[in-house]
Amino acid sequence: MPHYAVFNFIVGILFLILGFVFLLLSIRWEKPSGNQRGITNKSGVWTGSIFMLLGVATILITLLTK
């Protein structure tokens, strides 16, 4: 594997971890009170999802273009 492929793979894994952390934080911040249900921090969920998609895309592109 060339050096840039290894670097891209590491960056993809970091994106995945970062997205997972964002998702966990946004779910943990939620404190349902009364009839309020669901995840209240929607922006954290979107940020985490986008980071995870970026990570998956980076890893897939790296693996497909070797």
pLDDT tens track for 2-59: 788 888 889 989 999 988 888 887 775 555 565 555 555 677 778 888 889 999 998 8
Q: What are the structure tokens assigned to 24, written together?
A: 């966990």
Q: What is the residue range of 57's domain?
A: 3-31+38-64
Number of domains making up the chain: 1
What is the structure's pLDDT at 15?
A: 92
Q: pTM, whole model, 2 decimals?
A: 0.66
Amino acid at 30: E
pLDDT at 13: 92
